[in-house]
Structure 1
């Protein structure tokens, strides 16, 4: 399977317009009830106490229709997490989606709690595993052995034999998804997830939805604002997707974005006396040499192997944040010297593989949601054209994209989630990063224009996403909007963190 290397600002000044807060009140519709209790299956990194020992962190489930065309039919349980407000002047709740599609909101919100202390002083913070993700009937596509085989497939070289192997692997992967999760596959689309989110809003007693969406979460937020414009409260969309792009357009833009971030990493590496090259050209050549060697001679890492495909995934994973660049330098230096542990660790962090060999649903929920969110099914000729163009941009990151897998996907797709227009909603803040590899900046003004009610903020820094990047400017801007209702000025920008 040709894996996809992409589905985890300015200070407020006087004169900004203000959006009033909506009082919390129970919807007249019956949203169902959430039974909150201890979180029993969250593992915190660094040896910190489990969430179940923190009484302010609660987990719960909300029953929603599997098929919204049959509201009284079979149900699906959504898994939720709530971090209760630490302050006395509660404004309501803020719902988060951290991206993917396929990232667990339950796990990620728990891990992000320390970065959200200012917001938590006024709001309950809520997130959830969207339908088809992890605890919410997460899509599964095979056991550890099968997932290891898929994630380890090489992406170089590109020839007819590779294309045949890729097509066969895509078919096998799709068949396994149908075998293990066929019942839910038709219902995991973003429109249904937006309807689920409105059920969450009503169940927690909020008249309007306050929301922070990151990466794919921006598309979910945009779809919500399209389906329920009058129920939009204070909404922030960070690292936005352009839902109108085709598979080919997405692949080429993201390939260009990752290549740009990789070149920025190499420049920074050389500036800091890079261990594997005294200049950018030499450093790049040494990485290319490593990857080409791995196509025929994978590095042994315990009982596993670091293949070229896993190495490329590890590089891409570290480009999501400038904070991980030093670790990427170390990982590449060690791999060039014959040790692949660190680079394999980076790859596992991207694919959702834990040390015990179990996989999260990151790599399986992603295609499941992506493929049902579009009716596009590229032909073989279109896939080869996309791949050829992407490889010219970057031999390291170029591929046919997710179109090849969607071409054989067992569930039909719909274009409903690709058409967004939030006319009639409260103002929406969209934040685009100039150095974002996964959701390149050019998508930010495009989504802003499509939504009609949105205001664009530009972040000048590197990395995927701005709100949790460490930028004090972005943090102040977002929290000022969510807490005080102060919209950023038109044309607002924030410098790099």
Structure 2
């Protein structure tokens, strides 16, 4: 098994988004997206009182310098003048259900020479998508460092992930079989093969985290943020949630609506979305990202020649037949490609060509570059903590027979990623069922929503549904839409960051929605 330092691979694409806004339906709960256009105009109401201020902690954590270690772990060069400090705090294992015990929550704080000593922090979380402590350096290497001129950033790793007491609960064999989706087992029923493995893995992990086997969902992650607020002794938190982290931030707004100073939800999904719907949105996002990357590849004369998607199909077909690079499964290859598209690093042309070169090399028999991408994807997205948290969040899961139907249906509808996406749902079928967090009510703090047109992690359809949730909660909102490729508009688009900075400063939303080219 090849191993490498976690890296983040870059791709972006230049498309221009038109600045028009279709109206929402009379009942905003049923607001939907349509195609690549902007996701609906915001309904307006009387301007609420201003949100709470962003205050500096009265009782801070015990920070220790970790600049070199955290930048190195994220495969990002340290930034001149930027200091990273690490700390941890204990949170109750299950304050919701009353199970005793505690968990350790790891956090990383970023500051620069310009950061005011008395400035309140922006709390960032990427949830279970990848460790926040890995995404923070990537953000700082782009436009995220601009935040530090007025606020420190504190990235919170979700429990069991990254620096938050990372879980180790699966057998090595089971972990590898789940990563490969049990492709190399005998028999013609991949759902049954993978289901048997995940049953063993589920038992092992629930035994390991007992009595907290129901304490790793979005609701409990939100309570970990509340513990941070009370530890700091501040009246409210300024929150930036990306992807699953946006669900965590929204869950916090649902349980503590009067403790939210700022609410920035980037690439969000609704709190109560069903597992099948969430997975299909992700698969659609993977397909859209691949299409956008292929268009860019052609425009920049990338190493794959006139048919980039054909080269991807050839690679996936070889893996499906058991002839993948280095013996890799089709799931490993597909995850490597979608991870490279989701978490870009560097300029879009060079990074897009780097992915193209890895695919071209692999099709020619040189597997080194692609194996590095495979190992990066496994390290970033396939840890035991991510298995536990993502399954705890998976609601209304399909039956095994329904997954079998989707393996066929999605395999035809989404030829590059559909089958892998359908089988990915099997990993959570045996996990104890959870419930959706409470949706916000009485939320007077405005909500800033950001979305990405081509997002391989959550797809591009969540902003409209979450806008409806905000409206129903009494929160005004505006949108920042980026038509590039990646996971997190605020992370990867310089155009998307100025509205965030202005909102952090004033607590007031932009006057209009913002639409950003790639």
Give the TM-score of the pair, scaled to structure 2.
Answer: 0.79
- Indicate which of 239, 242, 247 corresponds to 2:267: 239
User: Taking structure 1 as reference, are residues 440 and 489 closer, same or farther at Cα in structure 2, changes over 3 Å only?
Assistant: farther
Quote how far apart the aligned CAs of 1:342 are: 1.3
Q: Give the equivalent residue in structure 1 for 2:313.
A: 288
Quote how far apart the aligned CAs of 1:318 are: 1.9
Tell me if 1:336 matches 2:363. Answer: yes
Gaps in structure 2 of 5+ consecutive residues: 1-7, 9-16, 20-46
Q: Report Cα offsets for 1:135-183 as digits up to 9, x if no partner.
A: 3232323355553343234669998432332222222332342354444
Quote how far apart the aligned CAs of 1:319 are: 2.0
Query: Contact conserved, 2:304 with 2:357, CA < 8 A, in 1?
Result: no
Tell me if 1:311 matches 2:339. Answer: no
Secondary structure in structure 1 of the residue aligned to 2:422: coil
Quote how far apart the aligned CAs of 1:327 are: 1.6
Secondary structure in structure 2 of the residue aligned to 1:88: coil
Quote how far apart the aligned CAs of 1:56 are: 4.2
Query: Contact conserved, 2:285 with 2:456, CA < 8 A, in 1?
Result: yes
Q: Give the equivalent residue in structure 2 for 1:357.
A: none
User: Taking structure 1 as reference, are residues 451 and 298 closer, same or farther at Cα in structure 2, changes over 3 Å only?
Assistant: same
User: Taking structure 1 as reference, are residues 325 and 144 closer, same or farther at Cα in structure 2, changes over 3 Å only?
Assistant: farther
- Indicate which of 335, 359, 373 corresponds to 2:393: 373
Q: Give the equivalent residue in structure 2 for 1:484.
A: 506
Give the TM-score of the pair, scaled to structure 1.
Answer: 0.82
Q: Give the equivalent residue in structure 1 for 2:463.
A: 444
Quote how far apart the aligned CAs of 1:66 are: 0.9
Q: Give the equivalent residue in structure 2 for 1:395.
A: 415
Query: Contact conserved, 2:105 with 2:157, CA < 8 A, in 1?
Result: yes
User: Taking structure 1 as reference, are residues 191 and 274 closer, same or farther at Cα in structure 2, changes over 3 Å only?
Assistant: same
User: Taking structure 1 as reference, are residues 406 and 479 closer, same or farther at Cα in structure 2, changes over 3 Å only?
Assistant: same
Secondary structure in structure 1 of the residue aligned to 2:284: helix
In 1, distance between residues paired with 2:76 and 2:57?
A: 39
In 2, distance between residues paired with 1:120 and 1:206?
A: 20
Secondary structure in structure 1 of the residue aligned to 2:64: coil
- Indicate which of 98, 122, 131 corresponds to 1:94: 122
Quote how far apart the aligned CAs of 1:69 are: 4.6
In 1, distance between residues paired with 2:82 and 2:335?
A: 38
- Indicate which of 166, 179, 190 corresponds to 1:162: 190
Secondary structure in structure 2 of the residue aligned to 1:80: strand
Secondary structure in structure 2 of the residue aligned to 1:199: helix
The answer to which of 374-383 and 444-453 deviates more is 374-383
Q: Report Cα offsets for 1:171-226 as digits up to 9, x if no partner.
A: 23323423544444321111111111012123224221101111111101111111
Quote how far apart the aligned CAs of 1:78 are: 1.4
Tell me if 1:24 matches 2:55. Answer: yes
**Mapping of residues 53-72 of structure 1, within 5 Å:** 56-69=83-96
Q: Report Cα offsets for 1:77-121 as digits up to 9, x if no partner.
A: 21222224633374311100024x152223432453343222112
In 1, distance between residues paired with 2:205 and 2:66?
A: 28
Q: Report Cα offsets for 1:386-444 as digits up to 9, x if no partner.
A: 333321221321132543222212xx332232x42243330010112222232233210
Q: Give the equivalent residue in structure 2 for 1:348.
A: 375
In 2, distance between residues paired with 1:265 and 1:158?
A: 35
Query: Contact conserved, 1:248 with 1:401, CA < 8 A, in 2?
Result: no
Aligned positions, number: 460
Q: Give the equivalent residue in structure 2 for 1:3.
A: none
In 2, distance between residues paired with 1:397 and 1:46?
A: 27
